[in-house]
Structure 1
Amino acid sequence: MNWILQPLAFAQLGKKGYDGLFGKDKSADFSSPNGIEALSRYDQLTPYWTPGTQSLDVDQADQTFAQGKAAFDVGGTFTLAFLQQNGMKHDDVYAFGLPAPEHGAVPDLALAPMALTGVTLSSASKQPENAKEWMEFLSEKQVAAGFATDATDLPATDLGADAAKALGPTLDSMLQTFKGAPGTTYDPNLNQNIQAPGYEQNDVGDILADLTPLGRASVADTARKISELNQSYWKAAGQ
């Protein structure tokens, strides 16, 4: 849901259509023609999931790919380092952002980064100036590039025109995923602005799993259930 359905729906429908999937208007939510279209497109993946996908945690899924038991692995930039730890050479991985669907509203889809790890200067630090200097040092272009290649992940620092040379082809291909205009960039950080107060992603994800990979619910049934759940969030919030 996080890494495929939502960016796929954004690319298929555009920002306005995507936002409507989570709104109060049933004529635009997942039970609408837009919602059916997005879920139908996502359901096309059903035949391609590795058996048992729904029961694997993140590490197990990555290991399945590293062991040659799967042809593709859905993950974040951090996935590359774990694959390398499990015996793959990162240059043997073809990394790319989620492709935009043919004839979608956003043909040149880009993804906005969402930071999962970071460094924070605590107000309780006994040596705040030293800590600040170290963080500034880590953020320098040359140091950030070295950290990125050693950790096999992308830094928050903008490496500028030298990024491809500093990072190498695999990490640079990931970096290219984040280059897009506001109207063509799916930004997961903004989802909370369009979802109802009290929205529970895991509950929606449980419904979605019955569609794919489990294949035990139809698109229409899935659309109806997600719509009903979404409307219940808006109602509970008094909106």
Structure 2
Amino acid sequence: MKMAENLNSRKILDAVEQGNMTDLAMLIAAGVDVNAGDDTGWTALMMASQAGRVDIVEALIAAGGDVNAADELGVTVLMAASSGGFGDIVEMLVAAKADIHARDDRGTTALMWASTEGRSEVVRILLDAGADANARGESGYTALMDASGKGHADVVRMLVEAFADVDAYDKNHLTALMLATMMGHTDVVKILIDAGADVNMRGDGGYTALMDAVGSGRTDIAGLLKSAGARE
């Protein structure tokens, strides 16, 4: 009996992986457990969400798919969709009461996943749904730090408008401004300065954003920082 259940569970995962709606519908009608997971805990709904299959996600939710399922690393269905940038699926999951505040084993939220990947549409949806713009991962990182370090200016702007703390710092005392400076993202540096970021904060070792900009030869960023009152 257990072997048959496992086989049917594998069939539903295979159907989703192959995008086979016909087989999926038959398996759902036969009462196969739509929430069965693979060896790592990934469910059919997680697979469909990561792949951007709106039709399959809709069918699985209607069949009782758990929108808050998580794998062995704590990654949820919403995180999978958010990372992939599938706004329509994120909206469906939020409407189905997916937990927008859930965290994986590293303390990362769906908003952080979306911010890291520069998924501006998803970031907007999550913020509108009440996602915490100031949530921190285990290293102290926030969504704003993630987006700033990657140079996702549109996302940075959204987070700033959502009152993300521009002076928050991680366990190494690095701020969003320092990270943007280190990676040479001039447009992000300007957004953060305009939002009131402290240009004279110091990271571990006493380094400031200006020190990094000067040392790296980033004259455009150094100029912006000096104009904002940064001191060497």
Shared fold, TM over 0.5: no
Task: Return the TM-score normalized by structure 1.
Answer: 0.25
Task: Return the TM-score normalized by structure 2.
Answer: 0.25
